[in-house]
Amino acid sequence: MAAELAGGLALGLLLVAPPFLPAYFLEILISVMLFGYLGAAWNILGGYAGQFSFGHAAYFGIGAYTSTLLFLRLGVTPWLGMLAGGVLAAAFGLFAGYLSFRYGLRGPYFSLVTLAFAEMLRVVAVNTKAVGSSLGLVIPSREAAPVDFVFAGKLPYYYVILAMTLGAVWITRRLERSKLGYSLRAIRENEDAAEASGVDALGMKLRAMALSSFLTALGGTFYAQYFAYIDPSITFGPAVSIQGLLQAIVGGAGTVLGPVVGAFVLTPVSELSRAMIRGRAGVDVMVYGLVLILVISFLPNGLMGWVSRRPARGRS
């Protein structure tokens, strides 16, 4: 009951408070929601299925480039381009996943293969003039047109990414209680035992891969529209993949709210330390890394794991 009340209060604040925030803090909150969303998308594959991907930037970039190119070349609204990018990313995810899972790649081998796929797409984009090569693509400034995913201020973008994040949390919650969720957790704990019990490990992991890559691509479209600029190093670079998985690991991989909680911790720490420590390049990264080391060392199950253990200790 207390948890539901706290959740309702937090959601109310997220809905009501942003219009009254200064522009800088609103931008931080948008970043929190974006990284929380990407963490939730990664969590489906990495947290529940136990398949640690270092290449989710591939799907992020596919989503960003697909929607942007459709808009710039054909005038297709990014709302539709977002779905097209999601479908293409899911297809690519199934392709990469089948090649990996079919031949038994697990653990660090799977992680390295996913990183290689993302780097492959980055190199292709850098050397392809049709997609702007290394210069990237700029979405020209124009009048506000919600139908084209263009808004007059930051606030509408915030509510869009908030809705996307809530949607990702809802999907994760439904997945956790479904047959797919139970199967993925069984695969995560012991894939051989799960297969011996009748679980189609290949099929279940491919479903997780498709859903995770589809959702990640939607985040790529949001990024492209919000910043109005993309290039291969930003969208296909390893930083995107790392940001997504760190939110989930710190908040609690394999939990519904873990990625969002992790984003609320890591993103403000990174942004505020960068703002407070000026003139000393790299110090903000050191502070960010220190927080990661402390959380991983003392809270191996993430913040949500620590929260869930506290009531158990109280009862004992």
| Per-residue pLDDT tens digits for 213-259 | 999 999 999 999 999 999 999 999 988 888 888 899 889 899 999 99
Confirm whether 233 is domain-assigned.
yes
Long-range contact pairs involving 66-74 (C-beta distance under 8 Å, separation at least 24): 66/217, 66/221, 67/220, 67/221, 67/224, 67/225, 68/137, 68/139, 68/221, 68/224, 68/230, 69/131, 69/137, 71/139, 71/148, 72/137, 72/139
Does 294 or 264 have the greater pLDDT score? 264
pLDDT of residue 24: 87
83 pLDDT above the threshold of 80: yes
Separation CA 304–CA 251 (nearest Å): 6
Separation CA 210–CA 232 (nearest Å): 22
Confirm whether 8 is domain-assigned.
no
Confirm whether 190 is domain-assigned.
yes
Q: Is there a contact between 140 and 146 (Cβ–Cβ < 8 Å)?
A: no
pLDDT of residue 152: 87
What would the mean pLDDT of 93-99 be, rounded to a whole number?
95
Q: How many domains does the chain have?
A: 1
Confirm whether 276 is domain-assigned.
no
Confirm whether 302 is domain-assigned.
no
Confirm whether 155 is domain-assigned.
yes
What would the mean pLDDT of 297-301 be, rounded to a whole number?
77
> Considering the chain, what is the average pLDDT of its residues?
89
pLDDT of residue 310: 60
Question: pTM for this structure?
Answer: 0.92
Beta bridge partners of 138: 229
Confirm whether 113 is domain-assigned.
yes
Confirm whether 14 is domain-assigned.
no
What would the mean pLDDT of 15-36 be, rounded to a whole number?
92
pLDDT of residue 296: 74
**Segments forming the whole domain that contains residue 224:** 24-237
